[in-house]
Structure 1
Amino acid sequence: MFPGATADPSASRYTVVGAPLDVSTSFRPGARFGPERVRRFAGTFEDYDRATDQTFSSLGVADHGDVHAWNDAEEYISYLASVCREIVRDDAIPLTIGGEHTVSVASIRALTPDVVVVCDAHLDLRDEYDGDPWSHSTVTRHALRGADEAVILGARSGSETEWTRADAADVTVVEPEAVADWTPPEGFEGRDVYLSVDIDAADPAYAPGTGTPEPYGLSSRELRDVVRAVAPHASGFDVVEVNDRDDGQAATLAAKLLRDFVFAHADATADAATDGARDE
């Protein structure tokens, strides 16, 4: 269980789902161990968050456990999407822990957001990779089959074809050096937003335990600031591509980002409720 995720799943506000899919990793496998490692390394954190004056265990977080993965990615994503739809039908926000980045497609299908914000070292706009249309390198392309727009933060790697695709009007790329100055645009107001964090968006100095590390990335604080800024607009969240090839740095960062999402989202929701009560 994710530490502090003590709520009854039938009455939760947020539900953690482990998605240990690991079939298309193109360099260093091990993403199947991501959900377990993220939960384990979250065990060192204090329950209390000073920034929002909240305790994690009081915010209605439940843990669904892992959705066992098998080798057919397309079939697995379809099943995982049905699990996420059940969570959404119960009025909870899915918090998915991967697993390879392909698992994000399941939550996106369940939520059908208008905008997908992706923190990622890679554009992931390929139609296929090594003949696999469900490779982790295709996730943003899949997302755009349902969403109107993708915002990719921290991208610094992609094929020539992907960079050409990224020039289209429905994609915005914010390169690493510009992320610190990026804030959610006014256009996010009133739209459904989904936030996906591929841990390789971080520089490998902060998160070496990932399948395809890419230098010149984001700092852990820059990722924290993005998560806190986007969370109030978001209807779902995932953190993916954590593997077992480090001493826990990537898993620790992923766990902290998941908690930051919950704290920031719950804080914004409470503020909105208070403002609404004042207006009545």
Structure 2
Amino acid sequence: MPLRPYWKGYLKLSLVTCSVEMTPATSDSEKIKFHTLNRATNNRVLSQYVDSVTGKAVREPDEVKGYQRAEDDYVMLEDDDLEHVALESTKTIDISIFTPRDEIDWIWLDKPYYLTPNDKVSEEAFAVIRAAMDAKKMVGVSRLVLGRRERAVMLDPRGKGIVLWTLRYGDEVRDAKDYFDGVSKAKPDKDALPLIRKLIKKQTRHWDAEMVSDPVQENLLDIIKSKKKHRKPTAAKTSEPGKAEKPSNVIDIMDALRKSVEADNRRSKKK
């Protein structure tokens, strides 16, 4: 069932404007969530803000945002102050930059949203913008206020719609060179490569969402069901039948690869 739009506004390219709506492309609503309870009363425990000096609870009307400029010295920002930040990008995604899709590395991508026309009148203008980007393998880069913060966003044409990705800020992305430059440049063993390729070929599958299923979620559901029925929960499932073995340090990579291929062949024959 489609969710209600998270954001509504306008998509603009030069003089072409259309009404659009945006919905999160991912969801964690199906995940098991827990409440903290008072064991003695079985009532929920609620959290609240407490004054760090007096220890007294603070009423919601008395809560205010503060920017610390020195110890015990804050600049208070009211809601009206925050509402006036980056007003131009609050309701309009104005595409001013285009760049090849493959030039934006995956590490910059933060959170995806589905961007679609908001009404029939806007469908033609939306389709023109989407199709033009798709034909040139380009993505649009713009800015948008979400959660009172202006974010850089990338618009990637997909099918009949556009996937809008919020992009990470520059200071959030660490340089890979700081970590990879120290890795040894040793060349792979020429005899090991064919065995690795054989393993990769045998274990290649078409993508399926079941590949990233959550076994912890399934085990939690089993525990919850068992507690409802007052029975002992079943043991957690493992990826392979039998007892899981603790991996040991591999000394001879060729020997390990040969054993892996042999084991894979045995599993294939059994199937």
TM over 0.5: no
Q: Could you tell me the TM-score, scaled by structure 2's length?
A: 0.19
Q: Could you tell me the TM-score, scaled by structure 1's length?
A: 0.18
Taking CA–CA contacts closer than 8 Å with sequence separation of 6 or more, which of the two structures ends up with the larger relative contact order? Answer: 1
> Which structure has the highest strand share of the two?
2
> Which structure has the highest helix share of the two?
1
